[in-house]
């Protein structure tokens, strides 16, 4: 496709921030982070944002969409606390002005995000982040997903044990009910819906997107990875899928 004429209003200038060998900014991020150059030059502002994000996982660039210049960033939840009274002026400027985000995708169900406030976490208050939509992808935590997967595994083992194909055909309703009760299809649906929302915002609405869950780990990586596969044919090969996994999950 040809490049569009309408691109994001603000195009941030990005640079590489190199953490020391002690990973002083974030111990669970790579040693090299891609962030706006203005933030690299203002170390005090950077540290304020680090303090405001869980595990110090600030919004960092993970994908640039060559089609129209939009960007995808990933991070962890803001530490707003009970009542959402805690704010970070530096974080708000970073996301609204330096990044010029149009969408924040919180991978969690809204109730889960609210529950995190009791532990100091939480989610972005839309009134503090002007002209940015906050979307809850409704993906359950790893414990719920693990229980769902266990039901699927047990069903598969039951099917493998069956010797009589006709007997198996007669109990299709049982397996279908077990599949539905596992909620596995529902979990897949929410991941797909979240990735579609991200891809649509970036490709068709020319908006920069930020993705996070509680600590920016499994659910965040699911959404960032799948949306990049939707957006970019580069990642639809075996070799480049491995690169994507290394980039989003391992590094």
> Quick one: residue 216, left, alpha or beta (phi over 0 = left, psi -120 to 50 = alpha)?
left
The one catalytic residue in 26, 62, 75, 213 is 213
Active site residue 240: no
> Quick one: residue 102, left, alpha or beta (phi over 0 = left, psi -120 to 50 = alpha)?
alpha
Residues classed as catalytic: 213
């Amino acid at each position: 496709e040809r490049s569009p004429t309408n691109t994001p209003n603000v195009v941030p200038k990005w640079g590489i921030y190199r953490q020391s060998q002690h990973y002083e900014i974030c111990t669970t991020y790579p040693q090299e982070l891609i962030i706006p150059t203005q933030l690299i030059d203002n170390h005090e502002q950077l540290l304020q944002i680090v303090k405001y994000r869980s595990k110090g996982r600030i919004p960092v660039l993970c994908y640039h969409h060559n089609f129209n210049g939009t960007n995808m960033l990933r991070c962890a939840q803001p530490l707003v606390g009970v009542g959402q009274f805690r704010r970070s002026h530096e974080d708000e400027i970073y996301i609204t002005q330096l990044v010029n985000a149009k969408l924040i995708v919180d991978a969690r169900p809204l109730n889960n995000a609210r529950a995190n406030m009791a532990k100091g976490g939480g989610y972005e208050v839309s009134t503090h982040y002007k002209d940015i939509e906050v979307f809850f992808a409704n993906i359950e935590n790893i414990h719920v997903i693990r229980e769902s997967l266990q039901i699927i595994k047990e069903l598969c083992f039951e099917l493998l044990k069956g010797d009589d194909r006709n007997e198996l055909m007669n109990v299709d309703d049982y397996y279908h009910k077990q599949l539905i009760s596992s909620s596995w299809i529902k979990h897949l649906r929410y991941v797909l819906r979240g990735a579609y929302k991200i891809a649509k915002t970036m490709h068709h609405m020319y908006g920069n997107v930020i993705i996070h869950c509680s600590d920016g780990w499994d659910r965040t990586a699911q959404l960032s990875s799948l949306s990049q596969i939707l957006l970019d044919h580069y990642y639809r090969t075996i070799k480049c899928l491995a690169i994507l996994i290394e980039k989003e999950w391992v590094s």
